[in-house]
Structures are given as structure tokens and as C-alpha cells.
Amino acid sequence: NNLLNISNLKVNIEGKEILRGVDLQVAKGEIHVIMGPNGGGKSTLGYTLMGHPQYEIIDGNIEFDGEIINDLKVDKRAKKGIFLSFQYPEEIPGVTVEEFLRTAKTSVSGEIQKIIPFKKLLKEKMNQLEMKEEYASRYLNLGFSGGEKKKNEILQMSILEPKLAILDETDSGLDVDAIRIVAEGVKKLQDREKSIIVITHYNKLLEYLQPDFVHILLDGKIVKSGGLELAQEIDKKGYENIRNEFSNK
Ligand code: ADP
Ligand code: MG
Ligand code: MG
């Protein structure tokens, strides 16, 4: 029972082919990790799944929850339950974290979020992430540390409760304590119905998450899949062997 079924996905950016035939199946409840050298197309895959207009699908299909979504716009995909973590690089003075998240939840769920119940939900999720309460009333990203911005992505995910969460290097630049908290947040979201794709380089996060599959994305293709041991092998030996084996294919 696959939640996500990507077949032969080819994607252009500004006329250049970046994804060159990606195949990936994600069943409900699974955690998948995508690793690979810089520039291989990991973020491109994330943006394409979310429906970013700059990424042009030239071949293949993305099937989500039984529907081909190639032509769906970002907001429709969000309503169907796809979430891509990304930092809001701009600081938004005048909009608090709480207001921002309440608006996002209203938009994605299609249900008005009343102030008092939403405050309660937010408090509960923030507790899980060991975030201080006053954080909710701060202006979005204004003076946030790198770690706070990353936790904010996880907070957003746990409020929106997507069917498929794609986390693109949400862990990079976090200290070990923050990585553990992020991992716990991710684990709490995951259940038999919800799936997660984590784009990351090898680190402690993977050991906490115990992913079902690890995939290597190299030059726009998934060239190898395995379990956590594949990630450990890459950590020891780098991508050189895999490059030698698969470049030109
Ligand atoms: P990764 O996340 O694996 O490091 P990316 O998906 O960010 O890789 O990038 C894959 C390739 O696509 C790189 O060669 C990069 O330069 C190119 N690319 C990514 N985004 C853009 C863009 N917005 N415009 C032009 N080229 C891009
Ligand atoms: Mg990168
Ligand atoms: Mg990237």
C-alpha cells in the first residue's frame, strides 16, 4: 500500500536535466533516507515533490495517495498532506510564530483554528520539542538562532501533521541535543499512516530514526538502496566506490 510512487521522474531546471529517471516507492508508515553527494539532486527531488513551479517535470509520474499529482500546485499538494520543511529565510516582523502556524494550519486543514484550542495544541507540541513557551509569541525568525529555525520546521510539521513529510537537511548545524529532540519530534509524527523522507548526510539523526530504507541519489538517479548499513558504509568510505560503479549508467 504505497503512499508515494515515483516512476522514471525526469526534471529540468532552466532547461537543464537535473533528475534523470528517479524511481522511489514509499509505503505508509515508512521512513526513507536520501543521501548523496552535493549537487546530486536531493533538494531538487524535495522541491519537485512539493510542486515548486521552477522544477519542470519532463517525464515520469509522481503518484501520491492514489492520484497522479504532476500538475497539482503547491497549495493543493499541501492540502493532500505533503509537507516540505524549509526555512523561511525572511524574518517576518509583526507575525508571531503562533499566528503564522495557526494560519498555516487553517489553510492546510481547511478548518478555522480557534485561538484557545490552537494555543493548547501548540503548547503541547512545543513541550515535546523542549521549546520555551515564550517562543510562540516571538516574531517569526526575528533573531532566531540556526537551531531555533530548525526546531521551528519540526514544530510546523508536527502542527500540520502531513501524511508525507520531507525534511531537507533539517538536522544540519544542530548540536547533539537538538538532533535528539528533532529525532524524537519526527518519531512522534510517524505512525502506521504517516511516512517520512529525510534528506541528510550521515549523522546521529539516522541512528535515532532507524530508517526502513537508505537511498543514494547520484547525478540525478537513485543508484543504490539498502538499510542503515549502507549509510554507515558511505560514512566510512565516501561515495567514490559508488561513483565508480554507477557513473556512465
Ligand atoms: P543536492 O540537494 O543534492 O545538493 P540540488 O538538488 O540542490 O542538489 O542541485 C542539483 C543540481 O541542480 C546542481 O547542479 C545545482 O546547481 C542545480 N540547481 C539546483 N537548483 C537550481 C536552480 N534553482 N537553478 C539552477 N540550477 C539549479
Ligand atoms: Mg546539498
Ligand atoms: Mg540540497
Q: Which pLDDT score is estimated for 36?
A: 95
Residue 198 has pLDDT above 70, yes or no: yes
Rounded distance from Cα 200 to ligand 3 centre (Å): 9
Across the range 35-56, mean pLDDT stands at 95
Residue nearest to ligand 1 atom 5, measured at CA: 41
Rounded distance from Cα 44 to ligand 1 centre (Å): 6
- Which tens digits make up the pLDDT trace of 6-24? 999 999 999 999 999 999 9
Residue nearest to ligand 1 atom 20, measured at CA: 44
Q: Which pLDDT score is estimated for 87?
A: 54
51 in contact with ligand 1, CB cutoff 6 A: no
Rounded distance from Cα 227 to ligand 3 centre (Å): 21
Per-residue cell: 198: 529525510
Domain with CATH 3.40.50.300 in the chain: 1-83+190-196+220-235
Residue nearest to ligand 1 atom 22, measured at CA: 13
Distance in angstroms (rounded) separating the CA atoms of residues 77 and 171 = 24
Q: Which pLDDT score is estimated for 142?
A: 80
Residue nearest to ligand 1 atom 18, measured at CA: 13
38 in contact with ligand 1, CB cutoff 6 A: yes
Across the range 205-210, mean pLDDT stands at 91
Rounded distance from Cα 85 to ligand 1 centre (Å): 17
The fold of the 1-83+190-196+220-235 domain, in CATH, is Rossmann fold (3.40.50)
36 in contact with ligand 1, CB cutoff 6 A: yes
Q: How confident is the model at residue 101 (pLDDT cuts 50, 70, 90)?
A: very high
Q: How confident is the model at residue 152 (pLDDT cuts 50, 70, 90)?
A: confident
Q: Report the complex ipTM.
A: 0.94
Residue 97 has pLDDT above 70, yes or no: yes
Q: Which pLDDT score is estimated for 249?
A: 53
Rounded distance from Cα 116 to ligand 2 centre (Å): 40
Q: How confident is the model at residue 204 (pLDDT cuts 50, 70, 90)?
A: confident
